[in-house]
């Protein structure tokens, strides 16, 4: 089974029909899941996504999306444990010259740990990360 990390921006684009990347997000997700793929969902991305959707769209959409992310088996949850958090802090400090968010740094740490090279994202910051390929 192919696995890809999923980022907040990809979930937001998938859910928000007015987002400029909506059609691309929907097409990629459908093809990926139809091909037997699974999205690896870090807890920090879930938190960031719920906050973004509630602030920019609505509490109702955030709740609906949250339920899908929690209940649909196509999303494999991963928690940033103590070591992962410490590694994330190290990456965040090391790349302070980049505009990477703390969650972006956590994604890089998890990609390395899980040996996952692809991140479903529209955030160009991931293009700067060594060893990571942004899809679609």
Whichever domain contains 23, its CATH number is 3.40.50.1010
Answer whether residue 18 is part of any domain: yes
State mean pLDDT over 8-35: 97
Answer whether residue 20 is part of any domain: yes
Answer whether residue 69 is part of any domain: yes
Model pLDDT, residue 37 = 97
Answer whether residue 19 is part of any domain: yes
Answer whether residue 99 is part of any domain: no
Residues 65, 71, 72, 77: is their CA dihedral positive or negative? positive
Give the tokens for residue 22. Answer: 């909506």
Answer whether residue 37 is part of any domain: yes
Q: CA-CA distance, 30 to 114, in Å (whole number)?
A: 23
**Under 8 Å CB-to-CB from 9, ≥6 apart: which residues?**
21, 121, 122, 123
Mean pLDDT of the chain: 97
Residue-wise pLDDT tens digits, 24-45: 999 999 999 999 999 999 999 9
Of 6, 21, 1, give the one whose Cα is nearest residue 75. Answer: 6
- Return phi, psi of residue 39, to 5°: -95, 130
Q: CA-CA distance, 115 to 110, in Å (whole number)?
A: 8
Where in the sequence is the domain holding 30, given as residue range(s)? Answer: 3-79+116-126
State mean pLDDT over 100-121: 96
Residue-wise pLDDT tens digits, 81-98: 999 999 999 999 999 999
Domain count across the chain = 1
Judged against a pLDDT cut of 90, whether residue 1 lies above it is answered with no
Q: CA-CA distance, 58 to 37, in Å (whole number)?
A: 29
Q: CA-CA distance, 30 to 37, in Å (whole number)?
A: 10
């Amino acid at each position: 089974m192919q696995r890809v990390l999923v980022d907040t921006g990809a979930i937001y684009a998938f859910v928000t029909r007015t987002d400029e990347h909506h059609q691309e997000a929907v097409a990629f997700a459908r093809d990926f899941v139809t091909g037997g793929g699974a999205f690896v969902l870090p807890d920090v991305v879930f938190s960031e996504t719920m906050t973004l959707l509630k602030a920019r769209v609505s509490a109702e959409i955030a709740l609906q999306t949250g339920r899908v992310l929690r209940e649909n088996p196509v999303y494999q949850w991963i928690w940033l444990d103590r070591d992962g958090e410490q590694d994330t802090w190290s990456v965040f400090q090391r790349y302070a010259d980049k505009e990477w968010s703390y969650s972006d740094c956590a994604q890089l740490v998890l990609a390395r740990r899980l040996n996952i090279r692809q991140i479903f994202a529209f955030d160009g910051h991931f293009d700067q990360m060594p060893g990571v390929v942004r899809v679609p």
